[in-house]
Amino acid sequence: MRTDTGQIVHLADYRPTDFVLERVDLTFELDPTETKVETRMIFHRREGVDASAPLVLDGDELSLSGLLFDQNEIPAGQYDLSPERLVIRDLPESKPFEITVTTIINPEANTQLMGLYRSNGIYCTQCEAEGFRRITYFPDRPDVLAPFTVNIIADKEANPLLLSNGNFLGGAGYGPGKHFAAWFDPHPKPSYLFALVAGDLGVVEDTFVTMSEREVALKIYVEHGKEARAAYAMDALKRSMKWDEEVFGREYDLDIFMIVAVSDFNMGAMENKGLNIFNDKYVLADPETATDQDYANIEAIIAHEYFHNWTGNRITCRDWFQLCLKEGLTVYRDHEFSADQRSRAVKRIAEVRHLRSEQFTEDSGPLAHPVRPTSYREINNFYTTTVYEKGSEVTRMIATILGGELFKKGMDLYFERHDGDAATVEDFVKCFEDASGRDLKQFSLWYHQAGTPQITVSSAFDAATGTLTLSLDQMVPATPGQTSKEPMHIPLKTGLLLEDGTIVTPSAVTGGEMTDDVLHLTERSQKFVFTGIPSRPTVSLNRGFSAPVSLHFDQSGADLSLIARHESDLFARWQALTNLALPVLTAAAAQARKGETVQSDAMLTETLLAIAANETLEPAFRAQALALPSEADIARELGSDNDPDAIHTGRETVLTAIAKAGADVFAKLMADMADTGAYKPDAADAGRRALKNAALSYLALAEQSPARAAAAFDKADNMTDLAQALTVLAHRFPQAAETATALQAFEARFSSNALVLDKWFSIQATIPGADALERIEKLMTNEHYNPANPNRVRSLIGTFAFANATGFNRADGAAYRFHAARILEIDKRNPQLAARLLTAMRSWRSLEPSRADLARTALMEIERSAGLSTDVRDIVDRMLKA
Ligand code: B3K
Ligand code: ZN
């Protein structure tokens, strides 16, 4: 493990390498504990670089076993060596030369899952961001691009499959019991996109004919016997390839595209050129074992990794500060893909829910950072929701500001101008400026200023003159390292709604720019005056969530209810409902905290039930409406001094009142939505199941009995319904005999399917209440729990910390101490996973004082520990910094 050296990397220090890498030839002799890696690299000194400058190669826990210059051994005096670095001096001034590095590595011992590792008999790699340097000494940075040839030699019986990036060159026997395969990737790439897989796996095959009529072989490799469960992933892949041709004009560029599913993986998936490696959770699905959400995730992640082929691989990042260049843009592309495959409005609502619960939370706490940071201590800690999701929103805003056509022109220019480059955010923005003639300088602050802009709005209508005045103020809160902020360019899609819901177009707008329906807020304080308005309009602001901001607009219940019923933008309707619900829920939390009777709200109940019963609305939308703001949403709204128990009790009471008032509506919904015929994972059927299960959850509250959920559990014929019924039982009736029976039945039925058991762990990890910790401790001793597998750890320890507010924040602080102990344990094995789990405590300062104190003590316990990884050290230090 790399322990912290305290070293910080700064964007301002960027400079190109002294040597240009022309070509790489790798030969792996695979062995579980002693793999030999021979790396031949052709370099030349970059023009203008001093003749005395040495060649510096990165390493991480490496040991060198051979070093050649043009095939001759390099004398010991000519280089400096440590596990982290190899520096070679006295190299030619201008002519190209070859360096051959040989290292011996131990894939079995690699529990960090970075570099080359072996688990369940499969060799696989993860090199982003800095894993390649755990394989060989190399200029391991994204701006060093070269074509790679890879030779793999391995035991034939154990590893019939030998895969790497690019096109297959050939293979043959190689001495007794061994064979080899050679791959060549003609597209110059940085080392983080390198991949190797070897082992014995089953395969699903298909082909795709590209728009220029080239046939591409498609292969998805999974464990033997699981081939049938890869069919949906294959279908999603083909749809992604087609969509990228149609919407972005991007064609695939190799003869073969492969996906390998592995069960030990630190993240969702990885976009290695031509050889994507996936967490099997995001490949394997069938109706019996995968939920609708699993299917949607698979579709999105298959698309995301495939889309990286252009946004990330063909055009990569100059340095890791530019991470959002590939990640934000690719998330934007996968969001658009899913929106086109499914219901755009429902997709947008889900995106915004996720953005608010994760990114807004990050942005308002100690880990806040700009979409493009300027320094880091551990780059793995910057694969954040800010870089990904806010990065995507920034791209979306460019599209909103420019409009569809100019956005497309800018994207085309980007692909044309930067194909083969390691580019920067500035390069990207410049393409849109050049394509549109628009100045995006102020807009670029979105990349550089952290924090969620807070917009305060008020409106006044003058009936006599038909004039509406909208006053907007923006404030970007201080964040770590950034105390004062400049005003941003915030594109707000706006609709002025008349009584019947029709949109009125003003005859003129003054005070600022308005293009189509987009108001461009650019000043700290700005008044937009709309004339020619026949009667007092209801203002619908930030339609479609055109900007990732928090709006403070004190609209009346009547206005919100009008929007909730009549807006043509479904997102705005959902948002209005949320705005109706939030004050009720925050007030409920305050009442519960004071021990007062919790009040529900008639207007909210009525509006919600009307939407639930409105058959002109798609079921998935109605389900989203019924899923009121979460406890985390309420906590964020309250901002500080949070008592998770009070928030929970308040929300449950409001939900129960709605459930009781709407019992008939919910019973009818359950019946109406019951029959979806044979299971199909498409959005329409998934929406019906979502609405049915939302109704089930309300009915269980109304009836205060587990009977209905137990019946639903018994008759479920797909995992979505089964998992939902089990969730209702476990969360609402944890002590009921029906719940114990269902939990046992589920465990027994799926005892050989680890991915399904993850759901079983997660459902129990989120049972609310102070006794959750004891349950978690007991589950950790379950025979199916495995602390070495990241999916198991995330499903139990991660879900508990991230998604069980009452259990995790129990008043005596025991769960914080438990979490700290787990982090220290996991850090020894897998620092990336430990650091990620630790971020669950990022909002500790917004807890009420006694819990905040206990959380701080637990964090300090971690901070005091010796031998922390850089990953955990970085997170804990930032979380504790005042
Ligand atoms: N690019 C990878 C993430 C790598 C994370 C490294 N710590 C997956 C993705 O975003 O597509
Ligand atoms: Zn990505």
Counting beta carbons within 10 angstroms of the beta carbon of residue 210, is it exposed (0 to 12), middle (13 to 18) or buried (19 or more)? Answer: middle
The amino acid at 123: Y
For ligand 2, a single-atom ion, which residues have Cβ within 5 Å? 327, 330
Report which bound ligand comes closest to the CA of 383: 1
Q: Are 1-199 and 750-882 in the same CATH fold?
A: no
Q: What is the pLDDT of residues 273-313, one digit of tens each?
A: 999 999 999 999 999 999 999 999 999 999 999 999 999 99
The two structure tokens encoding residue 232: 């949906």
The span from the CA of 868 to the CA of 606, in Å, is: 54
3-state secondary structure of 64: strand
Identify the pLDDT of residue 782.
98
Q: What is the 3-state secondary structure (H, E, C) of 592-646?
A: HHHCCCCCCCHHHHHHHHHHHHCCCCCHHHHHHHHCCCCHHHHHHHHCCCECHHH
Ligand nearest to the CA of 269: 1
Q: Whose CA is nearest to atom 2 of ligand 1?
A: 270
Q: Is the pLDDT of residue 722 over 90?
A: yes
- Calpha distance 578→573 (Å, rounded): 9
What is the distance between the alpha carbons of residues 470 and 458, in angstroms, rounded to a whole number? 6
C-beta of residue 657 within 8 angstroms of C-beta of residue 608: no
312 CA closest ligand 1 atom index: 1
Which residue out of 126, 140, 240, 267 has the highest number of ligand 1 atoms within 8 Å of its CB and is therefore the one to mutate?
Answer: 267
**How far does residue 126's CA lie from ligand 1's centre (Å)?**
9
pLDDT tens digit sequence for 122-132:
999 999 999 99
Q: Is the pLDDT of residue 4 over 90?
A: no
Residue 184's CB: how many other CB atoms inside 10 A? Answer: 16
- Residue 269 CA: nearest ligand 1 atom is 8
Q: Which pLDDT score is estimated for 882?
A: 72
Q: Where are the beta strands (DSSP E) in 120-166?
A: 122-126, 146-155, 161-164
Cα–Cα distance measured from residue 409 to residue 369, given in angstroms and rounded to the nearest whole number: 30
Which of 113, 128, 832 to mutate to test ligand 1, by most ligand atoms within 8 A of the CB atom?
128
Probe target for ligand 1 pocket from 279, 327, 839, with the most ligand atoms within 8 Å of CB: 327
Distance 331 CA to ligand 2 centre (A): 7
Distance 269 CA to ligand 1 centre (A): 7
Which atom of ligand 1 lies nearest, measured to the CA of 327?
Answer: 10
Going by alpha carbons, the residue nearest to atom 4 of ligand 1 is 128
Q: How confident is the model at residue 676 (pLDDT cuts 50, 70, 90)?
A: confident
* CA separation for the pair 396, 630 (Å, rounded): 25
DSSP string computed for 10-53: EGGG----SEEEEEEEEEEE--SS-EEEEEEEEEEEPTT--TTP
Q: Which ligand is nearest to the CA of 276?
A: 1
User: Which of 271, 309, 320 to probe ligand 1 with, by most ligand atoms within 8 A of CB?
Assistant: 271
Ligand 1: residues within 6 Å at CB?
Answer: 128-129, 267, 269-271, 304-305, 308, 327, 380, 383
Contact 693, 721 (CB under 8 A): yes
Query: Tens of pLDDT along 481-532?
Result: 999 999 999 999 999 999 988 999 999 999 999 999 999 999 999 999 999 9
Helix (H, G, I), strand (E, B) or coil at 141: coil
Which candidate, 740, 749, 683, 755, places its Cα nearest to that of 716? Answer: 749
Q: What integer pLDDT is reported at residue 761 of this predicted model?
A: 98
Distance 333 CA to ligand 2 centre (A): 10
Indicate left, alpha or beta for 17 from its phi (over 0: left) and psi (-120 to 50: alpha).
Answer: beta
How far apart are alpha carbons 493 and 401 in whole angstroms? 10
Ligand nearest to the CA of 192: 1
Q: Tens of pLDDT along 784-793?
A: 999 999 999 9
Residue 10: the pLDDT is 98
Question: Which of 126, 193, 270 is the best mutation target for the ligand 1 pocket, counting ligand atoms within 8 Å of the beta carbon and taking the most?
Answer: 270
Coil/strand/helix, residue 510 = strand
CATH topology of domain 316-448: Neutral Protease; domain 2 (1.10.390)
> Pick from 425, 359, 414, 287: which is nearest to 723 by CA?
287
Q: What is the mean pLDDT of residues 831-846?
A: 98
β-strands 518-521, 316-317 pairing: unpaired
Q: Clarify whether 305 is annotated catalytic.
A: yes
Longest dimension (CA), the chain: 95
Average pLDDT over every residue of 324-353: 98
What dotted CATH number matches 454-547? 2.60.40.1840
Give pLDDT tens digits for 434-456: 999 999 999 999 999 999 999 99
Give the integer Cα–Cα distance in Å for 90 and 92.
7
Let me know how long the chain is: 882
pLDDT of residue 675: 79
Rounded CA-CA distance 172/881 in Å is 58
Ligand found nearest the CA of 333: 2
| pLDDT band with cut points at 50, 70 and 90 for residue 389 | very high
Question: What residue's CA is closest to ligand 1, atom 7?
Answer: 380
Q: Which atom of ligand 1 is nearest to the CA of 129?
A: 6
Q: Given the CA of residue 379, which atom of ligand 1 is nearest to it?
A: 7
Look at residue 376 in the predicted model and tell me its pLDDT: 98
Closest ligand 1 atom to the C-alpha of 305? 11
C-alpha of residue 320 to centroid of ligand 1, in Å = 12
By CB atoms closer than 10 A (0-12, 13-18, 19+), residue 152 is buried
DSSP secondary structure string, 666-714? Answer: HHHHHHHTS---S---SHHHHHHHHHHHHHHHHHHHHHT-SHHHHHHHH
Ordered by start, the domain boundaries in the chain are 1-199, 316-448, 454-547, 750-882
Q: Count CB-CB contacts under 10 A for residue 526.
A: 18
Name the residue at shortest CA distance from atom 3 of ligand 1: 270
Residue 754's closest CA among 725, 786, 726? 786
560-590 in b/e burial notation, b at 16+ Cβ within 10 A? bbbbbebbebbbbbbbbbbbbbbebbbbbbb
Which one of the ligands is nearest to 331 CA? 2
Residue 808: band (very low, low, confident or very high) from pLDDT cuts 50, 70, 90: very high
Tell me the CA–centroid distance for residue 280 and ligand 2, in Å.
Answer: 17
Asked whether the predicted pLDDT for residue 2 surpasses 90, the reply is: no
Predicted confidence at residue 45, as pLDDT, reads 98
* Degrees, nearest 5: CA angle 94-97-103: 140
Residue 758 is classified by DSSP as: H
Q: What is the pLDDT of residue 155?
A: 98
Query: Over 80: is that where the pLDDT of 1 sits?
Result: no
CATH 3.40.1160.10 at 750-882, yes or no: no
Report the distance separating Cα 772 and Cα 782, nearest Å: 15
Residue 245 structure tokens:
């041709």
pLDDT recorded at residue 93: 96
pLDDT digits (tens, 9 = 90+) for 65-100: 999 999 999 999 999 999 999 999 999 999 999 999
Pick the CATH number of 1-199 from 3.90.1150.10, 3.30.365.10, 3.40.50.360, 2.60.40.1730: 2.60.40.1730
The percent of residues in the chain predicted with pLDDT above 90, rounded, is 98
CB atoms within 10 A of CB 96: 14
CA 324 – ligand 2 centroid, Å: 9
Q: Output the CA 129–ligand 1 centroid distance in Å.
A: 8
State residue 879 phi and psi, 5-degree precision.
-70, -30
Whose Cα sits closest to atom 5 in ligand 1? 128
Predicted structure pTM score: 0.99
Relative to the CA of 832, which ligand 1 atom is closest?
7
447, 527 Cβ separation under 8 angstroms? no
Given 305, 389, 567, 618, the catalytic residue: 305
Query: pLDDT for 630-639, tens place per residue?
Result: 999 999 999 9
Q: Whose CA is nearest to atom 1 of ligand 1?
A: 270
d(Cα 516, Cα 307) in Å, to the nearest integer?
Answer: 30
* pLDDT at residue 337 tops 80: yes
- Measured in Å, residue 297 CA sits from the centre of ligand 2 at 13
User: Residue 485 to residues 385, 455, 475, 479, 549: CA-CA distances in angstroms?
Assistant: 21, 14, 8, 9, 15
Residue 352 pLDDT > 80: yes
pLDDT value at 3 more than 90: no
192 alpha carbon – ligand 1 mean position (Å): 10
Residue 232 pLDDT: 98
> SS3 sequence, 173-208?
ECCCCEEEEEEEEEEEECHHHCCEEEECCEEEEEEE
Which residue's CA is the nearest one to ligand 1's atom 8? 270
